Amino acid sequence: MTILCYEKCSTCRKALQWLNEQGAAYTVRPIKEENPSYEELFNWWKKSGLPLRRFFNTSGMLYRELGLKDRLDGMSEEEQLRLLASDGMLVKRPLLVSEDAVIPGFKEEAWKSVL
C-alpha cells in the first residue's frame, strides 16, 4: 500500500506511527512533491466509492484561500479533479491507496479494515 502524506502534518505522522505499530508494509509518497495526477485521482475516487468532496483538504490554507467551501458545489467533477491535481496541498491527507481500497484521512477503524 502507498500512503500519500505531508511530512509536517501531525495526522500523517500519527497514521505512519500507527502503521508501524501494526507492522504494516507501506510506501510513503510525499503529496506536495509528488502531486497525484488527474488520472490517479479519478481512479482513486471511483475505487473509493466516496463523494469527491471527501478528497479535499478542507482544513488547509490553500482550500480557504481559494474559497472552495462556497465554490465546489458549482464546479463539475472534472473541474474538481483538475483542481485537486494542480496542488497536492488541496488533497486530504494522509491518503491510503491499496489494491482494494482508497481512504482519504486517517480513521483507525477504516484503516484496520485494509490491513
Q: What percentage of the chain reaches a pLDDT higher than 70?
A: 100
State the total domains in the chain. Answer: 1
* Global confidence as pTM: 0.93
Each residue's pLDDT tens digit, 59-99: 999 999 999 999 999 999 999 999 999 999 999 999 999 99
Measure the CA–CA gap between 81 and 7, rounded to whole angstroms: 23
Segment 25-46 shows an average pLDDT of: 97
CATH of the domain at 100: 3.40.30.10
Q: What angle do CA 47, 28, 37 make, to 5 degrees?
A: 50
Segment 14-29 shows an average pLDDT of: 97
Residue 31 and residue 96 in contact, taking contact as beta carbons nearer than 8 Å: no
Which structural domain, as residue segments, surrounds residue 27? 2-114
